[in-house]
Amino acid sequence: MNRRKKLIEVALPLEAINTASAREKSIRHGHPSTLHLWWARRPLAAARAVIFAQMVDDPASVPEEFPTPEAQEAECQRLFRLMEQLVKWENTTNEEILRQARDEIWKSWRRTCRDHAGHPRAAELFNPDKLPAFHDPFAGGGALPLEAQRLGLQAYASDLNPVAVLINRAMIEIPPRFAGQPPVNPEARREKTLLAREWRGAQGLAEDVRSYGQWMRDEAEKRIGHLYPKIEVTPEMAADRPDLKPLVGQKLTVIAWLWVRTVKSPTRPSPMWTYHLLPSSGFLANPARKPTSTR
């Protein structure tokens, strides 16, 4: 029996995949890169497309269903249109698009199981009710196992780097444990309507992460917030900064404190300088009134 070719062996809608992959570099909301900036992270769009294409049969390899070249081409174009939708960032959590992709994977897998029904280990290796598992032994940032899991495969990831292991646990191991469960934070418990609503996927877990993250921030501000005072924008600061002129008199939160070492001048006093990086962009340099160090 001839082995059926997979879609990835024949053709792919590369332009759509490349466009979606390039766009991901500018996305910073809801992307795994916000969890940890992994230096060799693969684009999620490309990972999703590759896994889908290597699981789905090429129509030309299914002559019993698509007997003519025209029928094969029409089916190929249908799969391409599905992939073009599948790789879009907006459809990352689109259950309808993902369901269609999973259906195509299941269809090809069951076809494979029928082809190998006479295999001596068919019951173990070609179970039509259980998709084959996905294992990435060098998972790194976890793009491939994450997308395999999104497409309905049981994903396994491993890596020698403990940071990579931590990233993968946070993305593909912990969220499924709490899939479909409501949040457990105190605020959610008080609001019984929140517990009564439907929580899909990891929405409940995400709500807990937001709630407890805000609690930690508030506690930190209570305990050490006084050590990081806000800076008032003065007319002198805004003299050469047109963008700061509307903010004169306002106190802005400092997002970074850069302490600069100084060397005392042998001929004249030299004040210590601190650089305040404000949200408005740019640096503001001011001599500290009370230097904390003369080094």
200-231 pLDDT, tens per residue? 888 899 899 999 999 999 999 999 988 888 88
Strands (E), the chain: 134-136, 155-157, 231-232, 251-252, 256-259, 273-277, 283-287
Treating both helix axes as pointing N-terminal to C-terminal, what angle do 44-55 and 14-23 enclose, rounded to 10 degrees? 150
- Cα 255–chain centre separation: 24
C-alpha 66: how far from its chain's center? 38
Q: What pLDDT, in 10s, does the model give residues 157-184?
A: 999 999 999 999 998 999 989 988 889 8
Q: Is pTM, for the whole model, over 0.85?
A: no
Checking if the pLDDT of 133 tops 90, the result is yes
Q: Tokens at residue 159, please?
A: 């890596």
Binned at pLDDT 50, 70 and 90, residue 270 comes out as low
34 backbone dihedrals φ, ψ, rounded to 5°: -75, -20
How many Å apart are CA 184 and CA 178, to the nearest integer?
11
Average pLDDT on 239-251 reads 90
